[in-house]
Structure 1
Amino acid sequence: MAKTERELTVPERRSIRKLVTGSCANYDRDYGCLPLDCECPMLGICYTNSAMCRYFWEAVLPNDPELEAALQALPTKRCQHCGKPFPVNGRRVYCSDKCADDARKKQTAARVRKYRSKAAV
């Protein structure tokens, strides 16, 4: 969870609401939170150290790396390919496998171009 208590900003609350209503498998528009049979507690959360839904932390929050980093107060890095921030995890330099593959293809093309220009001389 978060290291220090702070009030959530309006954009963070908006992002949480969007994730819960759009991505949470336990949320139903008519019934609220299905396991609790009441309104989803994540929709009314105001502070970072509040009791957050475990399912939300483990399954829904990873869909938004920026919000996850803000809520967990982890340092972030910028992806070397696309520039999006992502939580620091070891020595990773790309935010996703797609960015890593795209960067590898670009580096391979540059290396082959350089090799061809040397071979032509």
Structure 2
Amino acid sequence: MNSATLVQIQLDAYNAKDIDALLATYAPDAAQRSLDGTLLAIGHAELRDRYVSRFAEPDLHARLLSRACIGDIVVDHELITRNFAEGIGTVEMLCIYEVQNGLIQTATFAMGNQVLPAVL
């Protein structure tokens, strides 16, 4: 399977809140980082903890805005609907996936500002 297909399977699992299907797309020692290099999670156990708490959000959904691929690097521009403390809102994200041996080895995220619906 090509890298873009693998990342799409990961995105579909995220939107289905299917933790096992999502983890199946990641290498056992995969790392997630923010763009500044901060380690967010490493390995399936930490990834599971990170996603299980996120999946508790009832309105969580990622909408793919665009995707670019060069070899085993896939860059997604997504609009994420989240349940923030202030209410339901969205945040733009750039997600950079590095695929090795058919699994996501590294995922690096750049997050935009959260946007809440205007209060009338």
Q: TM-score range by the shorter chain?
A: under 0.3
Q: TM-score, normalised by structure 2?
A: 0.27
Q: TM-score, normalised by structure 1?
A: 0.27
Higher helix share: 1
Greater C-alpha Rg: 1
